[in-house]
Structure 1
Amino acid sequence: GKTTTMRILTGYMPPTAGTARIAGHDVTADSMAARQAVGYLPERVPLYPDMTVEAFVSFWAQLRGVRRPKAQVEAVLKRVQLHDRRRTLIRNLSKGMRQRLGLAQALVHNPPVLILDEPTIGIDPQQVIEVREMVREFGSAHTVLLSTHILSEAEQVCDRVLIINQGRIVAQGKPSQLRQQLEPGEHLFVAMEGGHGSAAAVLQNITAVAAVTSVEGGFQVRIKPKHDGRGAIFDAAVSAGWRLTEI
């Protein structure tokens, strides 16, 4: 569901249900404003091999209506470390440099949001390190949403991680929180309703519970080894006036 989500957010695919917003703009009702707020790097970057690096980014600057495009193109090429290759034909670039060029076209209109689909796929290890460092740096000036199937990459680059399985968010949180969920102990999905106060607080106060993470529809709960998590959760929910709907 990663790529499908990104296609919806970037306006390439209409949602069949629900809504999505980019910088406050509905991607369906206010599509043009939402798209203008996004810089998008698809998994396979469409490039024109007979154009130079500079000409390609200038072309995108014109499409995006960038003011003072020459200065902006120069700044972006420096930012992705391609300024010294600005007169090189795209056909002569390595895969890693082509990926950086894709980042340049996504950045050229200085959008508040960057959406990057598998930004390090298929490039050599040294280029992977460099691209990850760039993406991390971009986060200081842009909101960056990236997809990856490499958990170590998410841990190195991201401040917050969502794990999707068959279109459903099964875990989310800081990388350190998700790492805790991978530690020994039983893992349970818990859904509760009908009580007062915070359901998360009820779960966190259970002695047998090691960690609680809010996920879609409920909570991901890690139980301490050698503890009866299910019984403890049931007793705590009943005592606090909550009704368990799923465990």
Structure 2
Amino acid sequence: MSIKVEGLSKTYGNQKALNNISFTIDKPEIVGFLGPNGAGKSTMMKILTTYIDASEGLAEVNGFAVNTAPKQVQESVGYLPEHNPLYLDMYVKEYLTFNANIYKVDKQRIQEVITLTGLTPEAHKKIGQLSKGYRQRVGLANALLHDPEVLILDEPTTGLDPNQLVSIRELIKSIGKTKTVFLSTHIMQEVEAVCDRVIIINKGEIVTDKKLKDLQEGKDQIVVVEFDYRVEDAFLLRLPHVKSVKNTFGFVYEITFDTTLDMRPTVFDFAHDNELKILQLNQKFENLESLFRELTQN
């Protein structure tokens, strides 16, 4: 078991940042850790990387307790914090060499992580000359230097352009085939693109912990239909498995169904039987962003 958290709480004065959190993560697995600002995400990651102590509870990484074996935890974890700390006056390769000496890793590993994170075109520059996206890559390269078993990434794609996003996501997915990756992000598409599992936290407490495929299977189905004239909502609510009807604009309606069955043929037959003309008929599913808002709006 790569990460084990039991009954973990963290209090700052009278404020409880984490309240009795428990979860486990196995290897290999990519887990997305989601929550609104102030939910406790960064606090959890700082505890797992031994930067701060928990007020109560147990946390282990690779079998080492974070409070009693911090050095062993640090040796087995690669960490990219939200605010990526870098020496801006150092060259990329110089910075990675400096950290390689600390980790006592083979110097050939420096070039390996430079290539792995797409830093080759910028490796000759000072870090202060790099864009924010490339600085993120330097931080990720540094986290990978000692080939850790667990990678903890706090907002790893901040500042990346769309092309960089794709390459870094592919890198994270590749790493996740053999290692544990625990990442926080505000980008829902990123979670859907790379994660195996999602943990959502709100006000210091876990509100859901599920495999991504289970969340996707449990989503409501939405059929978007456009008629040639306005139809009363009550009329469409007669459809089977219907949860709600929303007139989005003009003669376009979003009909939400609580079923995994494809409801488009049913809507088509319903329209035909009631002499309604359909101008468009599409299917979509509630996305992770909608679920996130539902679970964290209170």
> Scaled by the length of structure 2, what TM-score is found?
0.59
What is aligned with 1:16?
55
SS in 2 for 1:116: strand
Give deviations 1:146-196, integer Å, cap 9, x for gaps: 011222211111111111111111112221212344426xxxxxxxxxxxx
CA contact (8 A) 1:171 1:178 kept: no
The reply to whether residue 161 of structure 1 matches residue 191 of structure 2 is no
Query: 2: CA distance between counterparts of 1:37 and 1:108?
Result: 11
Deviation at 1:36, TM superposition (A): 0.8
Q: How is 1:1-247 mapped onto 2 (pairs within 5 angstroms)?
A: 1-66=40-105, 68=106, 70-183=107-220
Mapped to 2, the partners of 1:81 and 1:141 lie a distance apart of 20
Which segment drifts farther, 155-164 or 125-134? 125-134
**1:112-149 per-position Cα deviation (integer Å, ceiling 9, x unaligned):** 00000011123222222221111111112321110112
Q: Using the alignment, how far apart are the partners of 2:174 and 2:53 within structure 1?
A: 31
In 1, Cα distance between equivalents of 2:174 and 2:136 = 16
Of 134-143 and 107-116, deviating more is 134-143
* Higher fraction of strand: 2
Q: Which amino acid aligns with 1:112?
A: E
2:55 maps to a residue whose letter is T
What CA deviation, in whole Å up to 9, does each residue of 1:40-66 have, x standing for no partner?
A: 001111111211110011111112222
Q: Which amino acid aligns with 1:17?
A: E
Whether the 8 Å contact between 2:133 and 2:158 is mirrored in structure 1 is no
Whole-angstrom distance in 2 between the partners of 1:36 and 1:13: 16
The number of residues matched between the two structures is 187
Deviation string, structure 1 residues 12-48 (Cα, Å, up to 9, x no partner): 1101110111001000011111111100001111111
Q: Secondary structure of the equivalent of 1:122?
A: coil
Consecutive unaligned residues of structure 2, counting only runs of 5 or more, are 1-39, 222-256, 260-298
Instruction: Describe the superposition over 1:70-120 as per-residue Cα deviations: whole angstroms up to 9, x where unpaired.
Output: 211111111111123221111221111111110010000111000000111
CA distance in 2, matches of 1:161, 1:155: 9
Counterpart contact for 1:50–1:90, Cα < 8 Å: yes
Distance 2:133 2:167 in 1: 9
